Amino acid sequence: MSLQFEIEANTGKARTGRLITAHGEVETPVFMPVGTLASVKGVPQDLLEELGIQILLGNTYHLYLRPGVQTVQQLGGLHRFMAWPRAILTDSGGFQVFSLNDLRKVSEEGVAFRSHLDGSSHLFTPESAMSAQIGLGADIIMAFDECTEYPAERARMQQSMELTLRWAARSKRYFEQHKEEVPWSGVRHAASGARQCNPTVGNRRPEAGSSQALFGIVQGGMDHALRKESAERTVEIGFPGYAIGGLSVGEPRDMTRDIVESTLEHLPAEKPRYLMGVGTPEEIVEYAHLGIDMMDCVLPTRAARHGLLFTSEGKVSIKQARYAADEQPPDPNCGCRVCRRYSRAYLRHLYASNEVLAQVLNTVHNLSFYLDTMRAVRHSIRLGAKAPFLSSE
């Protein structure tokens, strides 16, 4: 059994439920914080657990370059390496190659690119991207796709979509042949006698017979007909979950929403649906109500490092001088450990002084705010299902 998805309640197009992975359950709709290099910058794993995070995202491209897949694999996989016992999803690397490499060369075989770290040459193919993700050992992994640039001509969008479909079939074929190679698949970590850190944390043995789940990715640019075709043909190949990729690449927000809404109509209701790379607190609420189950974005963590807090009263740029003597908590309606303890004046001082703690506290608040937002969304979906007259739709 690779992955189970149980829908508990539907309200309008929205649904709430549970993803059951090899490393624990995830309540959906879920926002997945990004831990690019096996770390959510500035926040230790025990604190991430305390915040209630059930699934993290890691970036295959970055981990492949540093520390390298083989290193992580030899250390027992990503969960054990980073001491994170809960679920992990890795992306395929396609989007980072797309966004970080001006010199990439796309062919039928795959994408040749140069490392942004040292300029060395590499080739990602559907097979090597699967091999890397199997070696890293996340619970959910993604088919190798080409993220179509925006804007693009229709012929270009179609050609790119066709390539992604061929790569999806190759990804699935390779995965089916090699999925037993995941570091935690039936492996008994024999006691070596050497002292190990955290013998239990990050090393909780997955359920017997559990394996990774490979999701397909719908592309098709900003064209509704191509999105429909991409969705239908990806579903034909057959995956335990489906992602909508190629959005948030510079297009207007209304267009993102339109494409998401129309694409969702062509994805099976009983499978999890993952919208990649969104969004603001308002957007994640909106997409959850459209029927999206999973989302990820660097926004809450990256913005935090730049002194931008998301609050119930809107965005707060904590670096501003107006907060220098403000004794209020960052968000008076937030119950997170930062808002219970510290003032805006203190956070402003930390930021202005370039203290490391500024990044940590800002990130903890923003993640708490995003998680609370999704808790409220799940609650409202459950309430709506119990009392349909309360639903705003």
β-pairing, 242-244 vs 213-218, is parallel
To Zn ion, the closest distance from the beta carbon of 53 in angstroms equals 15
Please provide the DSSP assignment of 61-79 as one string: HHHHHTT-HHHHHHTT-HH
* Residue 46 known to be catalytic: no
- The nearer residue to Zn ion, 130 or 309, going by C-beta atoms, is 309
Cβ of residue 335: shortest distance to Zn ion, in angstroms? 7
Helix/strand/coil (H, E, C) string of 106-145? Answer: ECCCCEEEECCCCCCEEEECHHHHHHHHHHHCCCEEECCC
Rounded to a whole number of angstroms, the minimum distance from the CB of residue 370 to Zn ion is 11
Q: What are the backbone angles phi and psi of residue 74, rounded to the nearest 5°? A: -65, -25
Q: Which is nearer to Zn ion, 107 or 328 (CB)?
A: 328
Cβ contact 299:279 at 8 Å: yes
DSSP string, 3-23: -EEEEEEEETTEEEEEEEETT
CB of 309 to Zn ion, least distance (A): 8
**Residue 329 C-beta: closest distance to Zn ion, Å:** 7
Nearer to Zn ion, 40 or 138 (CB): 40
Phi and psi torsions of 345, nearest 5°: -60, -40
Could you tell me the two tokens for 150?
């925006």
Is 147 or 318 the residue whose CB approaches Zn ion more closely?
318
Residues 137 and 40: their CA atoms lie apart, in Å, by 18
CB of 334 to Zn ion, least distance (A): 3
Nearer to Zn ion, 365 or 378 (CB): 365
Q: Could you confirm whether 91 is annotated as catalytic? A: yes
Given the residues 91, 139, 293, 372, the one annotated as active site = 91
* Binding footprint of Zn ion on the chain (CB under 5 A): 331, 334, 336, 338-339, 365
User: Reduced to 3 states, what is the DSSP secondary structure of residue 306?
Assistant: coil
Q: How far is the C-alpha of 117 from the C-alpha of 98, rounded, in Å?
A: 15
Q: Which is nearer to Zn ion, 207 or 313 (CB)?
A: 313
Cβ proximity of 5 and 17 under 8 Å: yes
Catalytic residue among 139, 145, 293, 296: 296
Taking the C-alpha atoms of residue 244 and residue 277, their distance in angstroms, rounded to an integer, is: 9
Residue numbers annotated as active site: 91, 296
